[in-house]
Chains A and B, each alone.
Chain A
Amino acid sequence: MPELLDLAQRIVDDARPGEEVEAYVAHYRDTDVRVFGGEIESLSSAESSGVGVRVVVGGRQGFAYVGDLDEASGREALSEARDNASFASPDEHAGLARPDGVAPAALDLWREGAASTPTADKVELAMELERLVRAGDPRVRQVVSSDYGDGQVESAIASSTGIAATSRRTNCYISADVVAGDGDDTQTGAGYSVGREPSDLDVEEAASDAIERATRLIGARKAKSARLTVVLDRRVTATLLALLAGTLSGEEVAKGRSLFSGRLGEEVAVPSLTFVEDPTNPLAFGAATYDAEGLACRRTPLVEKGRLSAYLYDTYSARLAGARSTASAVRGGYKSAPGVGARAVAIEPGTLDQDGIIAQVGDGFLVQGVFGIHSGVNPVSGDFSVGAEGLLIAGGALGAPVREVTIASTIQKMLQGVLAIGGDVEWLPGSSSGVTLAIADVAMGGD
C-alpha cells in the first residue's frame, strides 16, 4: 500500500499553482468460482488496478481515469482531468476535502484468509453449498448456480489539500440460486452467507436459507387486492433502508430532488424509529475507515425518534448547504469521481423476533421478496410500488404463499405507518442492515 500512496502523492505533487488535485489509486484482487452439477463451471482469478484524478481550478472540476498503475498513465489522466475542468461551469462550492481533525476509527477490515486460502478450498465451499442444497429437500429441482467469491481491495488517496489516507479490506461470500417445485409449480429462492474471509462463511445456513425461501413459496397464487399490514422480511427492510438513505443525500436535498428537502427537524416517522448511518461499526458490510475523499468515516444519526435530524454530505454538498461533510463520499472505484452515499445504515432494533411480530400483527402479508425496486420507487415524489412475493398472515401465523402481487404506498406514509421494529438485526451485503419491520395500511394489488 505504501506504493499506492506514493503513486497518488507523486501525481498530486504535479498540481500547478491555483489548482487542487486529488488522486485515488486502487488495486483489486478477485476470485470468483461458479459450480454447477458438481463441476466447476467457471473459475476466474483476476487483478486489476487504476487511478482516478480530480482537478478543481477556479471552481471548475474535471475528472479522468486510467485502468493501470503506470505513472505515465497517471500523469496523462491528470492532464486530461485538467483539460476537462476547463469546460465545467465555475461553482463557488467546488473543491476538495481538507483534513477536518476527526480521528479515523480503529477498524481492521483485512483478513489474511481471503488471500491465503487455497483456491481448491474456495471451490470446495461452493461445491459443498451445492451438495447441501440438493440433498436438503426433495422439492429442490435445480441449483442454478452455487458461487464463491472474494475480493481484496487496497486503495490510497492523496490531495494537494493535505489528504493522505490508505485503506484495505477483504470480503467474501457464498450464494446459491435454487429452483424448487412440486407438480407444475416452480418457485425460486436464494441463500447466502457473507464475511471477510472464508472461515466466516456459514455454508449450512446459506443452504437452509436458500431451500426455505424457494420451497415455502411453492403453490403460491395471486391474492385478492386489499389494504393490509405488511411485515417486511429483514432483507426487504434492508433494501428499503438503502433507498431511504438515498433520499437523504445532502446533494439531492439541496437540489430539490428529495421528498425530504426542507424538512429537517420535522416528524417524518413514528417516534419509535431511529435511523443511523455508521460505517465505523465493524459488523457492517460497508464498514470503512475513510470515505472516498479521505475523511475519517463517522456515525451520523439521520432520523432520531421519528424526527429528521441530518442529511448525508460529502465535501461539495456540505459547502452547497452550508454544513460540514459527514464523510459520506462514496465512489464506484477509480473510474468515477466521488458522490454522496451511505455505507452502513441501520434502524435501531426493537425487541421482538419475526414470529413475535407476526403474532402481534395478526392478519397481513409477510413480504419475503420485492422486485422492481428501481423502477417502482420514486425517491423524489416518494411513490412506492413494487412487485412482491411472500406469505399471508392469518390469526398471527403464516398462511398461504402469494406471488405476482404488488405492494404500494408512499415512503412518507410507510415511515408514519411503522407498527413494530424487530430485534433480529442482520448485516447484509450492500449499504444497510435489516430487521423485521411491520407497516400498516399498504395497498396490495392482485386479482
Chain B
Amino acid sequence: MVQTETMLVDPAAVESALSLALGHGGEFAEVFVEDRRTTGISLDDRKVEELSSGRDRGAGIRVVVGETTGFAHTADLSERGLLAAAEAAAAVARQGSPGVREVALEGRTVPAPHRFEVAPESVPKSTKVDLLRRADEAARSSGGEIVQVSAGYGDSRRRILVANSDGLLVEDDQVRSRLMVMCVASGDSGLQTGYESLALTIGFELFDRFSVEEVAEKAARRALVKLSARPAPSGTLPVVIERGTGGILFHEACGHGLEADHIVKDASVYRGRVGEQVASPLVTLVDDGTVAEQWGTAAIDDEGKPSQRNVLIEEGVLTDYMWDTLRARKEKRPSSGNGRRQSYQHLPMVRMTNTYLQKGKDDPEEILAQTPYGVYVAKLGGGQVNTATGDFVFGMTEAYLIEDGHLTEPLRDANLIGNGPEVLTRIDAVGNDFDMCPGTCGKDGQSVPVGCGQPTLRISGVTVGGTAGA
C-alpha cells in the first residue's frame, strides 16, 4: 500500500470499502473518488453577468456480481461514508457468503501524467474576466451589423483517484480551459448567428498560446457572412467538409456504433464485422486519448486504465471496437481505456476520447476544384446518431454552395442527414491537411469532453436538409 499526504482519501479507508464490498459477494469492486473545482464566467450584452464557482467532492462505488452492477455514491469521503456507500452498492450481491475479503492496493504510476503549466486557481479572476471583455470588443469591431455578443469562459480542475479489487490504485489531476463566443448579426434578411470556441486540456497557458481576438472574430465573421446567405438546397449532393470541423461526423456516424456496449447488445450496425471492409479504403479511423492537450485527452480513463491509441478502422477495414473494463472482462480482453463518466455520481461506460480520421494524400484545394456542384461545410454544429440503424444528422453552421469548383454563395443553417455506414463508403477524397475540434459528447444522460478531427474530405452524396430545390 502506498500513501501520500496529498491523496484525496485515505487509502486504508478505500481498502476497507473494497474489502467490505467483496465480502458481500462482489466479484469486482471499484472506488472512484473525485474532487472537482470549476469556474464559469459569462459576458452578455456588454456586461460581465456572472462569475460562478463550485466544488464537488465525493466517491462512487460499484460492485459487480455476475451480470449485475450495484452502484452508490456519497459526498462523505470519511471511512464511515465510504463503507456506507460500499454497503449500499453491494446490496445487489446479497447472495454471497458474508465476511470480508481482503484487498491490498498497490499504487501504480501513470505512464504519461497529465501536464499543465498554469493552474486555473492561480490566475486572478480579473484576468479571466479581461479575456471576455477582449472577446466582446473584437467581435463588435468586426462589423456594425454585429448587434449582440455573448462569451463564456470556463475552467475545471478535476482530481480523481481510482482503486479496485484487482489492487489498482491510481490518481490523475486533469485541468481543462475553454472560451466560447456567440455573435448575432442583424441585416435585411433577419438575424444570423455565429459561434466559435477554443478548448484544450491544459491550464491558463491556453490564452498565451491562442488569441482570444481571433476566436471572437471567427464567430463574428460567421454571423456576418450568413446575412447574405441563401437557403440551403434540399436533396442529395456531394459535400466537401473543411478540416477539423467534420471530425464530429465520424464521432457520430461511426464512433458510437463502435462502442462495445452497443456491440454486445446487438444495437450496432457494426456488430460481427471486424475484419470486414466497412469504409472506403481512404478511411483510417482512430480513437486516441493520448493526443497531447486535446479536449478528450487524459492520462487515465475513469476506470484507471492508461489512455491509449486505438485504431478502429484501418484503410476501410474494421479492426476493433472500444472497450471499458466491464465489457472487456466479459470478453477476457483488456480495456482499451475508453471507460469514462461525467462525475463520481455516474457509472462509467464506453466512451470515445479523441476520435479522428487520419489524413490522406489529396490537396484540399484540388478536392474543391474537382467538385462541379455541391455544398462546402466550413463549420459543422452538433449532431446525433441512432447506433442501431446508423442514421445521423448534423447541423451546418457555416456552409457555401460549390459551383464549378468554386465557393459561390453562403448558405443558411441546415441539417445534413445520412447513414453512417453508407457515408463511410462514399468518401472519395481525403486531404493531406488535418485539424481537431473540441466537443461535448452526450450519451445516456452523461456528458464528457471529447476531441474530434479530420482532414478536408469529400463525401460523394449526403442529404442536405435545406428549403430550396437542389
Contact = CB atoms under 8 A, between A and B. Distances in A.
Interface of A: 36-37, 39-50, 61-68, 80, 83-85, 87-89, 91, 141-142, 144-145, 177, 179, 186-188, 222, 225, 255-257, 259, 335-337, 371-372, 374-376, 378, 380-383, 385-387, 389, 403-410, 443-447
B463 A446 contact: yes
B52 A65 contact: yes
A255 B184 CA distance: 10
A177 B261 CA distance: 14
A89 B44 CA distance: 10
Contacts of B347: 42, 44
Given A372-B384, A372-B393, A381-B193, A43 B49 contact: no
Contact of A88 (B49, B71, B76, B226): B49
Contacts of A380: 184, 191-193
A40 B417 contact: no
Main secondary structure of the interface of A (DSSP, over half): strand
B21 to A, nearest CB: 14
Interface of B: 41, 44-58, 66-76, 88, 91-92, 125-126, 129, 147-148, 150, 184, 186, 190-193, 226, 232, 234-236, 265-267, 269, 345, 347, 381-384, 386, 388-389, 391-395, 397, 412-415, 417-419, 463-467, 469-470
Nearest to B347: A42
Contact of A40 (B52, B55, B92, B465): B92
B53 A225 contact: no
B395 A63 contact: no
Q: Which of A47, A255, A378, A409 has the most CB of B within 10 A?
A: A378
B393 A256 contact: no
Contact of B386 (A37, A91, A371, A447): A371
Contacts, number: 251
A381 B125 contact: no
Contacts of B193: 378, 380-381
Contact of B413 (A61, A378, A405): A378
B266 A179 contact: yes
15 contacts: A41-B67, A42-B70, A50-B56, A87-B48, A87-B129, A89-B49, A145-B265, A188-B386, A255-B150, A335-B54, A375-B382, A375-B394, A406-B414, A408-B466, A445-B465
Given A84-B125, A225-B470, A409-B467, A62 B69 contact: no
Nearest to A369: B386
Contacts of A83: 125
B190 A382 contact: yes
A173 to B, nearest CB: 12
4 smallest CB-CB distances across A and B, nearest first, come from: A406-B465, A375-B395, A372-B393, A387-B393
A405 B393 contact: no
A256 B191 contact: yes
A63 B52 contact: yes
A188 B190 CA distance: 38
B254 to A, nearest CB: 16
Contacts of A87: 41, 48, 51, 125-126, 129
A50 B345 CA distance: 13
Given A372-B384, A376-B413, 13 more contacts: A36-B67, A63-B50, A66-B55, A67-B57, A88-B49, A88-B50, A144-B267, A222-B463, A336-B52, A375-B382, A375-B383, A387-B392, A405-B463
Contacts of B414: 376, 383, 385, 406, 408
B148 A44 contact: no
B466 A62 contact: no
A72 B184 CA distance: 43
A43 B388 contact: no
Given A188-B389, A403-B389, A385 B51 contact: no
A37 B67 contact: yes
Contacts of B232: 385
Contacts of B419: 404
Contact of A404 (B91, B381, B418): B418
A40 to B, nearest CB: 4
A404 B265 contact: no
A64 B88 CA distance: 30
B302 to A, nearest CB: 16
Given A42-B69, A222-B463, A375-B394, A84 B52 contact: yes
Contacts of A49: 75
Given A66-B55, A188-B386, A404-B418, A376 B465 contact: yes
A372 B148 contact: no
A45 B55 CA distance: 22
Nearest to B412: A383
A188 B420 CA distance: 16
Contacts of B72: 44-46
B50 A406 contact: no
B374 to A, nearest CB: 15
Q: Which of A41, A64, A142, A383 has the most CB of B within 10 A?
A: A383
Contacts of A142: 265-267
A91 B415 CA distance: 38
A179 B262 CA distance: 12
Nearest to A413: B467
Contact of A48 (B69, B73, B148, B463): B73
B417 A63 contact: no
B184 A64 contact: no
Contact of A43 (B71, B265, B393, B415): B71
Given A372-B383, A403-B391, A381 B44 contact: no
A375 B381 contact: yes
A39 B184 contact: no
B383 A445 contact: no
Nearest to B349: A42
Contacts of A179: 266-267, 388
B345 A385 contact: no
A255 B52 contact: no
Contacts of A403: 389, 391
B467 A443 contact: yes
Q: Which of A50, A259, A404 has the most CB of B within 10 A?
A: A404
Given A375-B383, A381-B193, A46 B48 contact: no
Nearest to B133: A89
Contact of B191 (A45, A48, A381): A381
B173 to A, nearest CB: 19
B148 A84 contact: no
Contacts of A39: 66-68
A388 to B, nearest CB: 8
Given A61-B49, A256-B147, A408-B414, A48 B70 contact: no
B88 to A, nearest CB: 6
Contacts of B418: 404
B148 A386 contact: no
A84 B397 CA distance: 34
Contacts of B41: 87
